[in-house]
């Protein structure tokens, strides 16, 4: 089900290259279909969305927008204990992200010059939330809460209807708790296009965030530039660093918690202990037998899972930084010692009692993380993802006169004489 390899500078690199390759594959057929959907929605608006909703979801609601009364009615169907869990998770997420909020600032210099930066939330953001069997209320919280903290004025959510055309109650509950302003029952590439262009019923947004299937991801990719997007997410992944103190039953459970997401998900254990590697394989074989997504887990671990045995933890850390995983667990005797050495990871989970699902649902940090090695240069979704920044400059006559010769020299060096002239004309009458 999962292979064990000894790091020798070649074998592990061949495997990691295979993992990276899965992210480079593109489906031209999907892209062609999505392009047609996008163009149809751009031209025909709600009519096109309704046709696709009937075709793909079986039934379209009479009105795409879900009223506040309908949301409340859906929420009333939820398990009250789950509602309380949502509220606790939301409080943790809100507390963490509130600390990310930045303030506008200005700096007044002695010569009268004023420089500054204005920070404000985007006007309108669209949130895509999968429905059906892949309904994730946690994604609503993780996307909506930082957006509201950032000051987004209107948060518009789209989510596919259930088979009978009604909204998913758990998704509605999360939307209500997170402060989503408007909800529309539509999904797929057509919903993404509706957000990007606007239709008769759906307002046009400035940015689209949230997970989805290959059609949703492709639509977001193709519409980037028409609107901003959060990121182009690849299959989920986890890398666990473990020394001889780690518990194999924990390691096996955590590897499978990612493998169950997708047949293309990647689960990697890097350890210095051959004994731990062998024991973890036995635990995987034991635990997988009673898990609901057994077949997906086994295929994922067979194709994209591996246990790599390294000579030293230094080598293991180097490997982790090179792979730049979405989730990075540190199951070592002294996990805090590694914080300053792990530079490339979406989110880092420290110690035996900080498993990855803690971050997915409850702890507070965002679970929308860079995948496919992009943690080398991308960051998790945050309050910053929902703001825009503008600088401002105020110079007095005297301050500009003092700097004019340097600015003119710069402009002339670049051959932009009109730039230079913009400065010159302001002082010609003073000659």
**Does the pLDDT value for residue 342 go beyond 90?**
yes
pLDDT in tens, 233-242: 888 999 999 9
DSSP class of residue 233 equals -
Please give the backbone phi and psi of residue 430, each rounded to the nearest 5 degrees, phi first: -100, 0
Q: Give the torsion sign (CA, 188, 68, 92, 351).
A: negative
Angle CA 27–30–32, to nearest 5: 110
How far apart CA 306 and CA 5 sit, in angstroms, is 7
Average pLDDT taken over every residue of the chain: 94
Q: Of the residues 12, 237, 298, 327, which is catalytic? A: 327
Per-residue pLDDT, 134: 67
Angle, helices 46-57/188-197, rounded to nearest 10 degrees: 160
CB 319 within 8 A of CB 308: yes
pLDDT in tens, 306-326: 999 999 999 999 999 999 999
| Domains of the chain with bracketed CATH | 3-23+234-363 (3.40.50.1980), 28-229 (3.40.50.1980), 398-430 (no CATH)
Contacts of 359 (CB under 8 A, 6+ apart): 327, 347, 349, 365, 367
| DSSP letter for each residue of 261-279 | T-TT-EEEEEES-HHHHHH
Q: Give the torsion sign (CA, 52, 58, 59, 64).
A: negative
What average pLDDT score do residues 351-358 get?
96
Catalytic residue status for 334:
no
Tell me the β-bridge partners of 239.
268, 328
pLDDT in tens, 272-300: 999 999 999 999 999 999 999 999 999 99
| 8 CB neighbour count, 10 Å cutoff | 10
Select the highest-mean-pLDDT range: 72-76, 161-165, 402-406.
402-406
N residues, the chain: 431
How far apart CA 225 and CA 278 sit, in angstroms, is 49
How far apart CA 337 and CA 319 sit, in angstroms, is 17
pLDDT in tens, 9-38: 888 888 888 887 776 656 778 999 999 999
How far apart CA 321 and CA 327 sit, in angstroms, is 12
pLDDT in tens, 177-235: 999 999 999 999 999 999 999 999 999 999 999 998 889 999 999 999 999 999 888 88
Tell me the β-bridge partners of 348.
328
Q: What share of the chain is helix, strand, coil (3-state, %, to 5)?
A: 50, 15, 35
| 388 CB neighbour count, 10 Å cutoff | 14
Angle CA 62–65–69, to nearest 5: 95
Catalytic residue status for 326:
yes
How far apart CA 334 and CA 338 sit, in angstroms, is 8
DSSP class of residue 387 equals E
**Does the pLDDT value for residue 431 go beyond 60?**
no
CB 146 within 8 A of CB 385: yes
250 φψ region: left (φ > 0), alpha (ψ -120 to 50), beta (else): alpha
Q: Choose between 60 and 179: higher pLDDT.
A: 179
What average pLDDT score do residues 95-109 get?
96
**Does the pLDDT value for residue 394 go beyond 90?**
yes
Q: Of the residues 12, 326, 329, 356, which is catalytic? A: 326
How far apart CA 288 and CA 357 sit, in angstroms, is 17
């Amino acid at each position: 089900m999962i292979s064990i390899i000894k790091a020798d500078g070649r074998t592990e690199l061949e495997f990691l290259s295979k993992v990276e390759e899965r992210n480079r594959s593109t489906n031209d057929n999907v892209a062609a279909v999505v392009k047609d959907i996008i163009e149809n929605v751009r031209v025909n608006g709600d009519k096109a969305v309704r046709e696709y909703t009937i075709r793909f979801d079986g039934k379209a609601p009479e009105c795409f927008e879900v009223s506040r009364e309908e949301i409340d009615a859906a929420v009333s169907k939820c398990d009250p204990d789950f509602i309380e869990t949502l509220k606790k998770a939301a409080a943790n997420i809100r507390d963490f992200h509130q600390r990310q909020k930045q303030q506008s600032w200005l700096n007044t210099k002695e010569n009268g010059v004023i420089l500054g930066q204005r920070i404000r939330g985007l006007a309108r953001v669209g949130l895509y939330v999968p429905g059906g069997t892949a309904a994730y209320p946690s994604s609503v919280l993780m996307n909506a809460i930082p957006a509201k903290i950032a000051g987004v004025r209107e948060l518009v959510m789209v989510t596919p209807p259930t088979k009978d055309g009604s909204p998913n109650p758990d998704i509605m509950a999360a939307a209500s708790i997170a402060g989503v302003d408007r909800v529309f029952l539509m999904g797929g590439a057509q919903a993404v296009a509706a957000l990007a262009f606007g239709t008769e019923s759906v307002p046009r947004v400035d940015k689209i965030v949230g997970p989805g299937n290959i059609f949703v991801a492709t639509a977001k990719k193709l519409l980037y530039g028409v609107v901003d997007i959060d990121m182009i997410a690849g299959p989920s992944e986890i890398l666990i660093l473990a020394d001889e103190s780690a518990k194999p039953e924990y390691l096996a459970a955590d590897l499978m918690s990612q493998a169950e997401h997708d047949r293309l998900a990647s689960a990697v254990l890097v350890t210095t202990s051959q004994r731990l590697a062998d024991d973890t394989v036995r635990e995987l074989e034991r635990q997988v037998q009673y898990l609901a997504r057994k077949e997906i887990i086994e295929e994922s671990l067979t194709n994209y899972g591996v246990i790599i045995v390294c000579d030293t933890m230094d080598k293991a850390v180097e490997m982790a930084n090179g792979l730049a995983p979405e989730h990075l667990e540190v199951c070592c005797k002294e996990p805090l010692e590694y914080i300053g050495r792990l530079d490339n990871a979406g989110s880092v989970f420290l110690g035996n009692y900080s498993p990855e699902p803690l971050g997915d649902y409850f702890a507070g940090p965002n679970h929308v993380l860079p995948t496919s090695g992009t943690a080398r240069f991308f960051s998790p979704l945050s309050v910053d993802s929902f703001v825009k920044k503008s600088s401002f400059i105020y110079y007095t006559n005297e301050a500009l006169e003092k700097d004019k010769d340097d600015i003119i020299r710069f402009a002339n060096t670049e051959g932009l004489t009109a730039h230079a002239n913009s400065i010159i004309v302001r002082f010609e009458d003073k000659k």
